[in-house]
């Protein structure tokens, strides 16, 4: 038995210590198998593999997005790589936001992170598609064309509609909806639009081939 536990950290530490104690007892006594049990333990088993599951699932999702983007953009590697970089940055920033606003990594936030990959694609893919279909050859003019022609649609058609859809969650009485859904989805919308309208045009306007041809190896 253990003293009264008051939070997730206490339950996680209690379960891990109980497992260590049971393993130690089982090594000393081979006749009877001892195992710890608590009605709350099955809720905290997820934390044994949550970091590994997060890394594996996010990697699979981002890789799948790059493969689909590669096919949809006419088998062009560079635009697909740009989308991959943008989505990865959004997810990394999302994890930073989770730390800043106190959102723990668990099964719910993991699902939201995976959903954030799909939402981030919607922001970046349109800009990159417009960049690829631009009639210009200069990267700066192609980036400007993408921002001017597609940027307003990304802001009004994607950002504002999604914001209106989730703003009602800010008034939810349930802490679950307010923390894990409103905060996370608001964060991915803000990060997605800033990456698509600020980072992507700036990154796409860089003439990497010009740097390489002039001897500046990146």
Cα of first residue to Cα of last residue in the chain, in angstroms, is: 60
CA dist., res. 52 & res. 107, Å (int): 12
- The pLDDT tens digits of the residues spanning 38-92 come to 666 667 777 778 888 899 999 999 999 989 988 888 888 888 888 899 999 999 9
Reference 200, options 89, 67, 35; nearest CA is: 89
Q: What share of the chain is helix, strand, coil (3-state, %, to 5)?
A: 80, 0, 20
- In tens, the pLDDT along 125-144 reads 888 888 888 888 888 888 88
Judged against a pLDDT cut of 50, whether residue 212 lies above it is answered with no
């Amino acid at each position: 038995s253990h003293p009264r536990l008051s939070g997730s950290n206490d339950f996680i530490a209690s379960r891990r210590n109980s497992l260590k104690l049971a393993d130690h007892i089982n090594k000393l006594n081979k006749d009877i198998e001892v195992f710890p049990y608590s009605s709350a333990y099955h809720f905290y088993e997820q934390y044994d593999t949550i970091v590994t599951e997060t890394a594996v699932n996010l990697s699979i999702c981002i890789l799948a997005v790059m493969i689909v983007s590669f096919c949809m953009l006419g088998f062009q590697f560079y635009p697909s790589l740009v989308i991959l970089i943008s989505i990865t940055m959004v997810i990394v920033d999302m994890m930073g936001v989770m730390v800043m606003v106190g959102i723990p990594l668990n099964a719910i936030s993991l699902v939201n992170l995976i959903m954030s990959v799909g939402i981030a694609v919607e922001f970046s893919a349109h800009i990159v598609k417009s960049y690829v279909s631009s009639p210009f050859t200069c990267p700066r003019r192609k980036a400007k064309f993408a921002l001017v022609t597609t940027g307003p649609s990304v802001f009004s058609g994607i950002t504002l509609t999604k914001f209106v859809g989730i703003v009602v969650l800010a008034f939810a009485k349930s802490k679950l909806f307010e923390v894990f859904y409103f905060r996370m989805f608001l964060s991915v919308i803000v990060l997605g639009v800033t990456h698509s309208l600020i980072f992507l045009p700036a990154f796409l306007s860089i003439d990497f081939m010009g740097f390489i041809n002039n001897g500046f190896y990146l």
